[in-house]
Amino acid sequence: MKYKSLVAVLLLGIVLSLVNSCKMKEIENEEILFVGTYTNNGSEGIYRYNFNLETGQLKNKTLAAAIKNPSYLTLSPDKNTMYAVSEVDDFKEDDGSITTFRVKDTVLIEVDVKSTYGANPCYVGVNESGDLVAVANYTGGNVAVYSAAHNGNLNPSPQIIDHKILDTTKTAHAHMAKFINGELFVSDLGLDRIEKYRKTDGQFSTSEQKELVVAEGAGPRHFVSSKDEKFIYVINELNSTITVFGLDDEKYYAIETQETTASNFEGESFCADIHLSSDGKFLYGTNRGENTIVIFEVDQATGKLKLLGRESVKGDWPRNFSIDPSENFILVANQRSNNIVVFKRNIELGTLSFVSQVDLPSPVCLKFN
């Protein structure tokens, strides 16, 4: 009996070990996805999913943080801090807000909430060292640049860069603020330009090349740079185009502009988000209205684009999208059809094929932890 009991115990131990091993393997094959939403359609804030890197399935939806209109999320370089804007105009004196969360074991712990000093913030960017955080206020027409402590907390009294004073004939709409090579680039949809700022004596002021200009009425929304920062790709919301800028003698010049919608498409369409694959070979952008992802092949020597095709997003009004850490999948947030769609990405060809989808009210921002 003792011998049989010992054998039973040993067998049980082996089984438990195998089970735990399988669980560990499953965890190793998963990434955490945070989703920002608009909260006027049944959503409550920021949601968390487990994303399977083998199957492309999203599961285990949980509410990570109850917060109003977290339309854009950004993680610090060490991924210990998340910044979420609340796209509102009533936080304080017609301002929006930015909330700082501590990320602990993939759980969000609220630390602080501050004003963005402008209405309807729609983007937050963090520099490579994590000590600067910039928020673009769309309706406010300005940018708030915060210094951040070593633990990610935002220090009070940010620098406010006002775009409303730059043009008296147009309405400023700061839409994206991103740090590139030590400078701050800010796309302004209303001014049809990307402003450039350099930090001098603790404050950001106009760089030597003060701006990158796109076509009148194009409406630059988001942009992405190549790894070597020789090229910048700007997706223009209002005329559904992508403009390519190339670096020459420390200044960026427009190289070409490509249409994002099909020539036979009828109706209104507005671009949203843009991303490069990490190898720099493929560029993707979303079309709201045509409801597609446009796919380009990138000539890495010249920066120029070659159209590969478009893929239906299996939903309505695609906003932000994300290439997963394995780069085998692309996930799209469809705001109006209330779903997140997963596509398998062919790494060699750049093409996409539908995998799965999950329902969620008004998803607009996807960030992997």
pLDDT in tens, 18-76: 444 333 334 679 999 999 999 999 999 999 999 999 999 999 999 999 999 999 999 99
* Interacting residues of 191 by C-beta distance below 8 A, sequence separation 6+: 163, 166, 167, 170, 172, 173
Q: What is the pLDDT of residue 27?
A: 62
Q: What is the pLDDT of residue 28?
A: 75
pLDDT above 70 (res 101): yes
Name the burial class of residue 319, with classes exposed (0-12), middle (13-18) and buried (19+) by CB atoms within 10 angstroms of its CB. buried
- Region 277-306: mean pLDDT is 98
Q: What is the pLDDT of residue 5?
A: 52
Bridge partners (DSSP) of residue 182 are none
Of 274, 276, 277, nearest to 285 (Cα)?
Answer: 274
Q: What is the pLDDT of residue 349?
A: 98
Confidence class of residue 9 from pLDDT cuts 50, 70 and 90?
A: very low
Q: What is the pLDDT of residue 234?
A: 99
The pTM of the full predicted model, rounded to 2 decimals, is 0.92
- Region 142-166: mean pLDDT is 97
- Answer whether 246's CB lies under 8 Å from 253's CB: yes
Query: Which amino acid is residue 142, in one-letter code?
Result: N
- Region 77-93: mean pLDDT is 96
Question: What share of residues in the chain are helix, strand, coil (percent, to 5)?
Answer: 5, 55, 40
| DSSP secondary structure string for all residues of 319-357 | EEEEE-TTSSEEEEEETTTTEEEEEEE-TTT--EEEEEE
Q: What is the pLDDT of residue 12?
A: 47
Of 53, 48, 49, nearest to 25 (Cα)?
Answer: 53
Bridge partners (DSSP) of residue 105 are none
Per-residue exposure over 229-256, b if at least 16 CB sit within 10 Å of its own CB, e if not:
ebbbbbbbbbbbbbbbbbbeeeebeebe
Name the burial class of residue 20, with classes exposed (0-12), middle (13-18) and buried (19+) by CB atoms within 10 angstroms of its CB. exposed
- Region 284-311: mean pLDDT is 98
Local structure of 301: helix, strand or coil: coil
- Region 281-307: mean pLDDT is 98
Q: Diameter of the chain by CA atoms?
A: 92
In angstroms, the CA 25 to CA 23 distance is 5
- Region 350-360: mean pLDDT is 98
Asked which of 2-11, 247-256, 323-332 is least confident by mean pLDDT, the reply is 2-11
In angstroms, the CA 63 to CA 48 distance is 6
